[in-house]
Structure 1
Amino acid sequence: MLARAMLGGAPQGILMASSTPARQRSGNAARATALTAFLTRLHFYIGLFVGPFILVAALTGTLYVLTPQLENRLYADQLTTDSTGPQRPLAEQIAAAQASLHGEETLAKVRPAPAPGTTTRVMFHQPGLNDYEHLAVFVDPVTLEVKGTLVSYGTSGTLPARIVLDYLHRHLMLGEAGRIYSELAASWLWIAALGGVWMWWRTGRGGRGAGRSPRRRLRRWHSLTGLWLVVGLVFFSATGLTWSKWAGSNIGALRAQMGWVTPSLSVQLNGTAPANHAQGAHAGHGDHGTHGAPAMPTSLALWDQVLASARAAGIDAGKLEISPAANADSAWQVKELDRSWPTQVDAVAVDPRDMSITSRADFADYSLVAKLIRWGIDAHMGILFGLPNQLLLAAFGVALSAMTVLGYWMWWRRRPAPGATQALLCQSWARLGLPARLVSLLLALALGWSLPLMGASLLLFVLIDLLRARTAEAATEPA
């Protein structure tokens, strides 16, 4: 009896010991399945409600990065000249530009001809223009001939045709209210990308080896495209948020708190102005520079003297911009504008009284984080590596657009019949374990605070979900 019990006890003990890992694996699998179901519903909601905004951002961004060469051809008469010989002083070029106008414009800044065969851009404040827009007068630096006038926008200096594309990408030409669309797309893009990777990993690697039905092929193409783009999706989401309206303000505050600020000039001649500021929260697409009160009237001869002082101080890029002092207690600014590789964005402040350098901000002195942010923004805009950067962004934009359209096609083919029971986001969340629910709730609160439009749209998702649940419940109640 004892031997029998001993013989019988060992297998039972082994069975009990081996059943514990099995239960753990089963529990882990159940939690992973519940998480996958929740992320699938969230991914669906993002695609359904935010997908149109992502598609518009992808299409307009693709058009924007493909058009610098087109802009150069459209405005070749204003941007280039056949004249050869020594350039005339800036003072004479500015005087020629002023003489071509009607008098209500105020001189704002000047961009000297960056290379032989190009024109000088004399920029004016003009009543009626939008923020960060100037009236640019293009002057032949050799003959002083005025080659034309165009509206110029931002530090990038885009001209009318590309301004339209910039505004479409930035705010759909709806003003500040329209910026909601682009910030909403950037806020959710990285969540959709990372959630898609998880779903691909958990559901048979995007349908590989699972049949050749049209639905599975669509799903596979959608998944594989997302996998190829995932790094770019996160990158564009992060860089896009840096100049968004609400999230961008929070990012700027975080950068200032962490010391990730971009060095900037102190232009105060009497007293000391703050030496740094966070430039992450841009007013729009790209870095637009200052846009305030017109500069005080100055002697035209000062422009040449300030330029000579800046050149002597090492400001040697071909593309640069000179801004006069805003008042008697301020310095002039001379900034390099070459955001290609290698990046040349050094800047100096010049005291107009003795032409001394009172402050400077050299790219070499930027912190690593500040450099990465500068490069990231310029890569986002297709500037950093020139044509290769443009072509890469264009391919990315086309692929993202195709992936978004595939997502809608998949939904259309699988759309539920009227009255059919549909899975709900709240139900999927409720099936998560308690720890997962708490973690997801804390993440939602943190992200909702830092990315306000994400938080607001998530609440909208939940409200839509509750309304769907209420409608389904009412439909099943007996009459």
Structure 2
Amino acid sequence: MPADDLLTPASSTVPPTPSRPSPWAPLRPLVLRLHFYAGVLVAPFLLVAAVSGTLYAATPQLEDAVYRHQLHVVPSAAQVSLADQVRAAVEAHGGGDPVAVRPAPTPSDTTRVLFSDPSLGESERRAVFVDPGTGAVRGELTVYGTSGVLPLRTWVDQLHRNLHLGEPGRLYSELAASWLWVLALSGLGLWAARRVGARRATRPTVRGSRARTRTLHAVVGTWLAVGLLGLSATGLTWSTYAGERVTALRSALSWQTPVVDTSATGHEGHGEHAGHTSSRPVGAGAEASPEAFAQILAAARVAGLTAAKIEVKAPAAPGAAWKVDEVDRGLHTQVDSAAVALTATSAGALDAQVVDVVRFEDYPFAAKLARWGIDLHMGSFGLGNQLALIALGLGLTAVVVWGYRMWWQRRPDPARRLAVGPPAHRGAWRQLSRPVLVAVVLVTAVVGWAVPLLGVSLVAFVVVDVVLDVVVGRVPRVRPAP
């Protein structure tokens, strides 16, 4: 988002009214230089992230329409038991033990019975969709992540996350998120400084296409600033390198999201069933029967997991506790979790007892903010959330385009259609006093450590800037003939 002329004087014919310089004045050229370089070099990544993020925000309704047969059914007065639904899915899938079950949230929705598949990617599972009213199988699709998105949204999500390039591709989105907050804050500062300068000036304002572009770029960017800062912060939380720093910070401050203890395998010391020596623990494998999923769900409901959207997970190892998660991330967040120990009595009956519960209301406040922030970023709070994300994405796209247009409009020779304007003036750091320069260096070092890709790319910008300064300084200037 090149904005190298945000502080260009409106006119040189009338001298400005003398005024006492503000403490901010020495920093303006440095911030302008930073905003210019970041805008020119990082804005393409922001543009891709903005477009792909806008597409993702618009996909829930499209996904619902494309996969309507698998997702929705005509409600029936009677309901087939959950065990029979799981049994029908296992038969349609060709056997194998389910790894999880998501019961139908409403009679008009389908139940999802999930199976692992080594041929699928990370966090992907095969889902068999079952009509809860008739037990008929409605289809089978690949689902991704905790949100359980289907192939269409998964494709758009991976485009936004890593450009379908796998783990290396995540660097693009992390670079964009790392610089987005810098561009938003620096642009906000430059625009505020220009507004203050305009109120102090007595000269008339110059009109023109470049001025209009600059105004659009700055005003829209200012309106979007808070939302862009939120997208940057939440995007960094699950990035590769900055995400590690965030995780370490949350751990040091005890801000982690609590998780249920699924290592509990029996009833010892847990409620009225403690001491039943005739029971043996049941975990994954053949004993994770369709009836077991129904038994686990019933126990979790009694324990207070009341969300319509819920997932029952079989344990990965025999003897471990099962896990039940609420997965409703709408306006009324329901993400409680329970660990349930399942035992088989000597008579062969199954007995389920909740051994640990983690409720969202007991999360640390920082963990709640992280949950809400990520869900806002993903558009989980309904149509209003989606529309806000779409507006942010379209607005950021426009700001990037206006930034490049403004750079092009500053070209010295308007006849050269492929030329661009010169960068902001070099050597801005030389105007800083030593204390301010030391403070800038220290802050930059801390931020560069906390956000590694920002630090590395900033060093690269500085190196390029120094090299250009040296090269330009060595190029002899040709004076025009008298």
TM range (shorter): 0.7 to 0.9
- Residue of structure 1 equivalent to 2:299: 309
Map 1:259-278 to 2 at 5 A. Answer: 259-269=254-264
Q: Do 1:206 and 1:223's aligned partners in 2 also have CA atoms closer than 8 Å?
A: no
- Residue of structure 2 equivalent to 1:429: 429
2:375 aligned with 1:378: yes
Q: Deviations over 1:52-95 (max 9, x none)?
A: 11111111111111110111111000001125132222222122
SS at match of 2:320: coil
State the alpha-carbon separation in 2 of the partners of residues 233 and 376 from structure 1.
Answer: 12
Question: Given the superposition, is the C-alpha separation of residues 423 and 84 from structure 1 closer, same or farther in structure 2, using an over 3 Å criterion?
Answer: closer
Which of 215, 218, 227 in structure 2 is aligned with 1:220?
A: 215
Note the C-alpha offset of 1:101: 2.3
- Residue of structure 1 equivalent to 2:357: 360
Which of 226, 231, 238 in structure 2 is aligned with 1:231?
A: 226
- Residue of structure 2 equivalent to 1:411: 407
2:313 aligned with 1:323: yes
Q: Do 1:323 and 1:332's aligned partners in 2 also have CA atoms closer than 8 Å?
A: yes
Q: Do 1:339 and 1:345's aligned partners in 2 also have CA atoms closer than 8 Å?
A: yes
Q: Do 2:265 and 2:321's aligned partners in 1 also have CA atoms closer than 8 Å?
A: no
Note the C-alpha offset of 1:300: 2.2
Question: Given the superposition, is the C-alpha separation of residues 38 and 325 from structure 1 closer, same or farther in structure 2, using an over 3 Å criterion?
Answer: same
State the alpha-carbon separation in 2 of the partners of residues 476 and 58 from structure 1.
Answer: 42
Q: Do 1:200 and 1:206's aligned partners in 2 also have CA atoms closer than 8 Å?
A: no
State the alpha-carbon separation in 1 of the partners of residues 143 and 85 from structure 2.
Answer: 18
Map 1:63-462 to 2 at 5 A. Answer: 63-103=55-95, 107-204=98-195, 210-269=205-264, 295-297=284-286, 298-353=288-343, 354-384=351-381, 386-415=382-411, 422-423=423-424, 427-462=427-462
State the alpha-carbon separation in 2 of the partners of residues 304 and 421 from structure 1.
Answer: 69
* Structure with more relative contact order (C-alpha pairs < 8 Å, separation 6 or more): 2
State the alpha-carbon separation in 2 of the partners of residues 151 and 270 from structure 1.
Answer: 31
Q: Do 1:93 and 1:144's aligned partners in 2 also have CA atoms closer than 8 Å?
A: yes
Question: Given the superposition, is the C-alpha separation of residues 94 and 397 from structure 1 closer, same or farther in structure 2, using an over 3 Å criterion?
Answer: same
2:2 aligned with 1:33: no
Note the C-alpha offset of 1:100: 1.6
Note the C-alpha offset of 1:474: 3.3
Q: Deviations over 1:96-129 (max 9, x none)?
A: 11212245x6522110111011110111111221
Q: Deviations over 1:368-400 (max 9, x none)?
A: 22111111111111112x111111111111111
The amino acid across from 1:38 in the alignment is L
Of 94-103 and 261-270, more deviation after overlay is shown by: 94-103
State the alpha-carbon separation in 2 of the partners of residues 421 and 411 from structure 1.
Answer: 8
The amino acid across from 2:431 in the alignment is R
Note the C-alpha offset of 1:328: 2.6
Which of 54, 57, 61 in structure 1 is aligned with 2:49?
A: 57
Note the C-alpha offset of 1:206: 9.2
Of all paired residues, the percent bearing the same amino acid is 45
Note the C-alpha offset of 1:470: 2.7
Note the C-alpha offset of 1:329: 3.4
Question: Given the superposition, is the C-alpha separation of residues 239 and 269 from structure 1 closer, same or farther in structure 2, using an over 3 Å criterion?
Answer: same
SS at match of 1:318: coil
State the alpha-carbon separation in 1 of the partners of residues 321 and 208 from structure 2.
Answer: 69
- Residue of structure 2 equivalent to 1:48: 40
Aligned length: 427
Q: Do 1:261 and 1:370's aligned partners in 2 also have CA atoms closer than 8 Å?
A: yes
Alpha-carbon RMSD: 2.2
Note the C-alpha offset of 1:204: 3.5
Note the C-alpha offset of 1:419: 12
Q: Deviations over 1:10-35 (max 9, x none)?
A: xxxxxxxxxxxxxxx85x54x53321
TM-score (norm. length: structure 2): 0.84
TM-score (norm. length: structure 1): 0.85
Of 362-371 and 204-213, more deviation after overlay is shown by: 204-213
Q: Deviations over 1:304-351 (max 9, x none)?
A: 100110111111111000101122331111111111111111111100
SS at match of 2:342: coil
State the alpha-carbon separation in 1 of the partners of residues 321 and 411 from structure 2.
Answer: 64
Note the C-alpha offset of 1:241: 0.7
Higher helix share: 1
Q: Do 1:119 and 1:140's aligned partners in 2 also have CA atoms closer than 8 Å?
A: yes
The amino acid across from 1:357 in the alignment is V
Note the C-alpha offset of 1:248: 0.7
State the alpha-carbon separation in 2 of the partners of residues 466 and 339 from structure 1.
Answer: 49
State the alpha-carbon separation in 2 of the partners of residues 56 and 206 from structure 1.
Answer: 34
Question: Given the superposition, is the C-alpha separation of residues 111 and 452 from structure 1 closer, same or farther in structure 2, using an over 3 Å criterion?
Answer: same
SS at match of 2:448: helix
Note the C-alpha offset of 1:416: 5.3
Note the C-alpha offset of 1:270: 5.3
Flag structure 1 segments of 5+ consecutive residues without an equivalent. Answer: 1-24, 272-293
Q: Do 1:345 and 1:363's aligned partners in 2 also have CA atoms closer than 8 Å?
A: yes
State the alpha-carbon separation in 1 of the partners of residues 463 and 401 from structure 2.
Answer: 26
- Residue of structure 2 equivalent to 1:471: 471
